[in-house]
Amino acid sequence: MKDIRICTIGLGYVGLPLAVEFAKKLPVVGFDVKRARIDELNAGHDDTLEVDDDNLQSVLVTEPGNWDRRRGLYLTDQLEEIKDCNYYIVTVPTPIDKYKRPDLTPLIKASGTVGKVLSKGDIVIYESTVYPGATEEDCVPILEKESGLKYNEDFFVGFSPERINPGDKEHTFLTIKKVTSGSTPEVADKVDALYNMVVQNGTHKASSLKVAEAAKVIENAQRDLNIAFVNELAKIFNIMGIDTLEVLEAAGSKWNFLPFRPGLVGGHCIGVDPYYLTHKAQEIGYHPEVILAGRRINDSMGRYVAGEVVKLMIKNGHTIADSKVLVLGITFKENCPDIRNSRVIDVIRELEEFGCAVDVYDPWADPDEVQKEYGVSLLTNHESRKYDAVVLAVAHRQFAEMDLKKLTNGHGILYDVKGIAPEADGRL
């Protein structure tokens, strides 16, 4: 493991924490195509809030000529400056398109970038979520084409799926157990040893790239199905007039009951990864039923929430057309600025379809990103207005500390998606 020079491709929620921790022990180049991201990080701040400023600044090296070859993090968007690395770790996003199909565009482009600088003996490690087989079927041919080198003779590949949970300061890159794999037994050992240099809870070395790829997609498909189950329970119990959270608390007194809660399922993993598995299953001739059923239930929850809000408003005597509704939160989860694949937008759009005038307030989200991604203008001051309905969509700590009823117009309703407001008129 001597003379290791790492390059991380992509400096987002996954790539940056990884680059920072490796840079404490090894020389690391962080590469990203977004110049604005490079400039932001070189200024010593991470807008995703995954790496705190002191931690980032402790490893940064801004002058390549002064780079200590034993350790440190140099950031760049220039291809020439990553040529002398010998481990390339790809951490770009793998989203889905509007038809719920895997979109490998970022991964394909990243593979092309790495292929242009690949040398004999180099190892390319993918962390991006894919369906089983994608690394060898989709990425390796591009590496071969761009480099002119032969797979498993001149260069090698590993797969070590990311397990970053945005906003989670307990289960971090350092503290989780890391799944590793390699394209040959020898490379698998090298990849495993590399990650064991930094992670604190060890690794699980999978027998093949495909096993590691499959493990990643089922981790989140399992969570998706469990949440879909409690979401369906919430719908049933609502019709029966039973409080879902009270039922879950009672059932949770059994030692092996799993503590899942109903809610909106978004983000870059749980709401996306199952489609990678179902896509591959359909490609090989198998039509998955349970996984897609769970996806249909979870994808329908935004419209369901909006419908429940409107029902409560009608019962309270509100005219729905032109009624004023405040949605609290648009990030995909609490205490995190990540807005990727947020299903709160489904609630907003459905309320607008009913004719409501919807305002959105989120102290964690970046207003420019929200405008660009969803076409929604965030409020900067929500306290001067009164609403016919308030929807608590995300459990940010700021919202838990607020008197939410004061935001209504006296007889307005409060609907709690997250189950944290005892004074709510209705909840999921």
Of 207, 220, 201, nearest to 162 by C-alpha is 220
Q: Which two tokens stand for residue 257?
A: 């009951």
d(CA 367, CA 387): 21
List the catalytic residue out of 7, 85, 139, 269: 269
Q: What is the DSSP letter of 33?
A: S
> Which residues have a Cβ under 8 Å from the Cβ of 118 and sit 6 or more positions away?
88, 124, 143, 146, 147, 149, 155
With contact defined as beta carbons under 8 Å apart, do 391 and 354 qualify? no
Of 415, 247, 251, 249, nearest to 327 by C-alpha is 415
Straight-line distance from the first to the last Cα atom of the chain, in angstroms, rounded to the nearest whole number: 52
Does residue 269 have an active-site annotation?
Answer: yes
3-state SS, one letter per residue, for 47-116: CCCCCCHHHHHHHECCCHHHCCCCCEEEEECCHHHHCCCCEEEECCCCCECCCCCECCHHHHHHHHHHHH
The residues annotated with a catalytic role in the active site are: 269
